[in-house]
Homo-oligomer: A and B are copies of this chain.
Amino acid sequence: MKRTSRDIRTSNRYQVLRQFIAHSPASRQELAAATGLSSATVATLVGELVELGLVTEVGFVDSGGGRPRGLVALNTEGGALVGVDIAETYVHVELFDLGLNVVARSEERVRPGARGPEEVVALVVAGVHAVTAELADGHRVLGVGVSVPGQVDREGGLSVYAPNWDWHDVPLLDALSGQLAHPLYLDNPLHACTAAELWFGAARGRSDAVVVNLGTGVGAGLALGGALHRGVSNSAGEWGHTTLVLDGRRCHCGGRGCVETYVGAPGIMRSLRELHPDSALSRSGDDQTAAIDALARAVADGDPVAVATLGHTARYLGAALANLVNLLNPEVIILSSWVAARLGEPLLDAVREAVARHALRRPLAATEIVLSPIPTDPVCLGAATFALEGALTHVRTPLARSRR
């Protein structure tokens, strides 16, 4: 529960920098108005960001009679950030400037037989080297954020449990830090996507948001009070393993009736096979992406089997999202990840109707449900954001320096 002065300074720094990323250049007065922070606090924070080279003074603007106001802009060249998305079949690495624009990217395939920690670490290192190779001299890499699926111990830098590869307590950051000199930050894709929405997406400026990741696995990243809610052991968001149908479908987590078994990609395809075993759509083989793509195309064509499968999925997803509405009373629910992107508006429309059937009136009226507006890989973006947050957390303020 302790929110220390240091936490508050860090969170204020995030707020001011987010504001610059959204609107640059800006005057200190505009920043104070937009963030609700006092002029004195904003002046201090801008001073820190200038000293770090993240923002720069760019001139003055007339203030209508008073003293001209100094304008400060994001220094997009002030440092580079790397985001790494380790997935089951690939390792994406992206290099960002400080405006979080993608400057370079690399994709390495994870070969089916090569899923041990050493192989994956080698792919990450190769990717980071590839994207940073062409950085001009003097361009600093502020940090590398790495996302790995499953349960992650952030402080310890461990992949505690990665179900797809059956990794247990793999010291990923230790292994990487032997080969990469940059500051490193580890978390999972759900938390990365949530950070991306907070900084750049549909959660920005919202008091409470839920980022629902619909992919092979599913989860709900919680952005409460403008910050990622990680929980006490960084495990928050395992909505995919909340029970929706007591004694329902078996789940790989050992439970039954978990949300994921109905609305994750394999769950959707299972519903299709159960409802319409003879449909061509249900004979799509093991490629989940191709199967969901085919389903999305068939929905667009008005195929009744596809439309019925979408409706069936929306019924489960709607009830599960209504649980989030009733429990958390968020301002917005953001549907993210590849299944949401591919099924798109038809899924969104069906889900909104289903949520309205299950949620209580007052929280329902307060909640918007939208598709993620982030056009790039949100996991790389969010992972890079962790590196940016890390750089802002470890700022040595004048006071901290004088104490040393």
Further contacts, 15 of them, CB under 8 A, given A232-B367, A236-B328, A245-B245: A1-B204, A3-B225, A151-B360, A151-B362, A208-B232, A224-B224, A231-B330, A231-B366, A233-B365, A235-B362, A236-B363, A238-B360, A241-B326, A241-B360, A246-B319
Query: What separation, in Å, do the CA atoms of A361 and B222 have in the docked complex?
Result: 20
Query: What separation, in Å, do the CA atoms of A362 and B152 have in the docked complex?
Result: 10
Q: Are A207 and B232 touching (Cβ within 8 A)? A: yes
Which one of B36, B222, B242 lies within 8 Å of A326 (CB-CB)?
B242
User: Who on chain B is nearest to A11 by CB?
Assistant: B3
Total identical chains:
2
- The A217-240 residues at the B interface (CB cut-off 8 A) are 220, 222, 224-227, 229-239
Which one of B6, B15, B246 lies within 8 Å of A244 (CB-CB)?
B246
User: Who on chain B is nearest to A365 by CB?
Assistant: B233
Query: What separation, in Å, do the CA atoms of A3 and B15 have in the docked complex?
Result: 9
Q: Given contacts A1-B206, A330-B231, are A243 and B244 in contact (CB under 8 A)?
A: yes
Report A's interface with B, CB cutoff 8 A.
1-6, 8, 11, 15, 35-38, 41, 151, 160-161, 204-208, 220, 222, 224-227, 229-239, 241-246, 248, 253, 255, 257, 316, 319-320, 322-323, 326-331, 358, 360-363, 365-367
Which one of B4, B232, B322, B365 lies within 8 Å of A366 (CB-CB)?
B232
Query: What separation, in Å, do the CA atoms of A244 and B367 have in the docked complex?
Result: 21
**A366 — which chain B residues lie within 8 A by C-beta?**
231-233, 235
Q: Closest Cβ of chain B: how far from A152's Cβ, in Å?
A: 9
User: Who on chain B is nearest to A358 by CB?
Assistant: B255
